Amino acid sequence: MDANQFWIRSPGAGQIRRAELAPRQDGEVLVRTLYSGISRGTEALVFRGEVPPSQYQAMRAPFQEGAFPGPVKYGYCSVGEVLEGPDALAGRTVFCLYPHQDIYVVPATAVTPLPDQLPAARAVLAANMETAINVVWDARPLVGDRVVVIGAGVVGLLVAWLCRQTAGADVTLVDINPSRGSVARALDLPFLTAPPGEATADLVIHASGQPEGLRSALGVAGVEATIVEVSWYGSRSVPLPLGEAFHARRLTIKSSQVGLLSPLQTPRWTHARRMALALDLLRDARFDALITGESAFEDLPDVMVRLSQAPGDTLCHRIRYT
């Protein structure tokens, strides 16, 4: 059986390749892809060839083939139907951290069945929700906290929504793009196009992907506040004003990354349990607002060029397989 795969041939150029699948073995599943999603921030960096050599190993995705900067098969938001496998999975719709490919074989332990009432078309957001869960675990918002989330991309929106579930939390979402306001309203999130004028936030989470956003985060953090940095800049350097009020307010900047579980959860949680939680949370139909476009798989090389250069108002772009 042959599979069609999306490869980044070289920075800025993609192609669909055909490759033969290895026969399925015991304990494996054969999955026919229904949808995949483009994780726009990370995948755009990979597509442009902006992964620094020091991070080549750390940035490897599950089931990646090839190597950075290319040729490389990269991606991690796949939803499909199990055509062959153990009885408990055969015929089930599942999520898998797999690159863009129309049919594939993976260990049965690598797929997570979708819960009831979660459509396959929405489940492409699972990797982003998993990231958002880990961010909130790292950030640890408390009852009544003033929380500012800067950057209303997919992860920023999901982080703000999760923080909003904290009792009494006052959550404000900030993005300079006014079009993100309609998506924020769909999730019942207060939205601003500029950071609040006062430095009173107990917790600031930065997810804009732009250095200017991180500088704004420093500006709104109150005394002894924590800024959680979610954005990943690839090979770019980020200058910060660590003079001014940074020391006077005794601010803390903390990184968050989904590859490792939050240390406080590690004794009890596994990656599989976290993924199951992410899928369960996505049963809320309001999250459909985060999917702002859809294209056919065969158009993916051109779609990636467009999204990596001028993403416009794109949040999650979904890929449809026939």
pLDDT, tens digit, for every residue of 6-21? 999 999 999 999 999 9
Total count of domains within the chain = 2
Q: What is the pLDDT of residue 226?
A: 98
pTM: 0.95
Cβ-proximal residues to 248 (8 Å cutoff; 6+ apart), any chain: none
For the segment 294-313, the average pLDDT, to the nearest whole number, is: 93
Kindly state whether residues 196 and 216 are assigned to the same domain: yes
258 pLDDT band, cuts 50/70/90, is confident
Encode 237-270: b = buried (16+ Cβ within 10 Å), e = exposed.
eeeeeeeeeeeeeebebeebebeebbeeeeeebe
CA 24 to chain centre: 29
Which has the closest alpha carbon to 160: 140, 144, 179, 184?
184
Kindly state whether residues 61 and 150 are assigned to the same domain: no
Asked which of 237, 255, 273 is the last residue of a domain, the reply is: 255
Residue 235 lies in a domain: yes
Residue 275 lies in a domain: no
Tell me the pLDDT tens digit for each residue of 61-74: 999 999 999 999 99
Residue 272 lies in a domain: no
Tell me the pLDDT tens digit for each residue of 247-257: 999 999 999 98
Q: What is the pLDDT of residue 40?
A: 83
For the segment 40-50, the average pLDDT, to the nearest whole number, is: 91
For the segment 276-281, the average pLDDT, to the nearest whole number, is: 98
Q: Report the distance separating Cα 254 and Cα 237, nearest Å.
A: 17
Kindly state whether residues 70 and 144 are assigned to the same domain: no
Percent of residues, the chain, with pLDDT higher than 70? 100
For the chain, the residue count is 322
Residue 48 lies in a domain: yes
Q: Are 221 and 173 in contact (CB under 8 A)?
A: no
Kindly state whether residues 138 and 245 are assigned to the same domain: yes
Residue 267 lies in a domain: no
Kindly state whether residues 219 and 292 are assigned to the same domain: no
Q: Report the distance separating Cα 232 and Cα 235, nearest Å.
A: 9
Kindly state whether residues 134 and 221 are assigned to the same domain: yes
Residue 269 lies in a domain: no
Asked which of 255, 272, 291 is the last residue of a domain, the reply is: 255
The 3-state DSSP class for residue 80 equals strand
Kindly state whether residues 204 and 316 are assigned to the same domain: no
For the segment 207-225, the average pLDDT, to the nearest whole number, is: 96
Rounded to a whole number of angstroms, the CA Rg of the chain reads 20
Q: What is the pLDDT of residue 191?
A: 98
Lowest mean pLDDT among 1-15, 21-35, 103-117, 230-244: 230-244
Look up the domain containing 137 and give its range: 129-255
Q: What is the pLDDT of residue 322?
A: 87
What's 6's domain CATH number? Answer: 3.90.180.10
Kindly state whether residues 192 and 292 are assigned to the same domain: no
For the segment 112-124, the average pLDDT, to the nearest whole number, is: 97
Q: Are 29 and 89 in contact (CB under 8 A)?
A: yes
Lowest mean pLDDT among 75-84, 134-143, 233-242, 296-305: 233-242
Residue 6 lies in a domain: yes
Q: Report the distance separating Cα 210 and Cα 50, nearest Å.
A: 15
Q: Give the H/E segment covering residue 150.
A: strand 146-150
Kindly state whether residues 152 and 241 are assigned to the same domain: yes
95 pLDDT band, cuts 50/70/90, is very high
Asked which of 236, 255, 274 is the last residue of a domain, the reply is: 255
Kindly state whether residues 142 and 191 are assigned to the same domain: yes
Residue 265 lies in a domain: no
Kindly state whether residues 35 and 134 are assigned to the same domain: no
What's 141's domain CATH number? Answer: 3.40.50.720
Kindly state whether residues 134 and 248 are assigned to the same domain: yes
Q: What is the pLDDT of residue 174?
A: 98
Structure token pair of residue 243: 């003079």
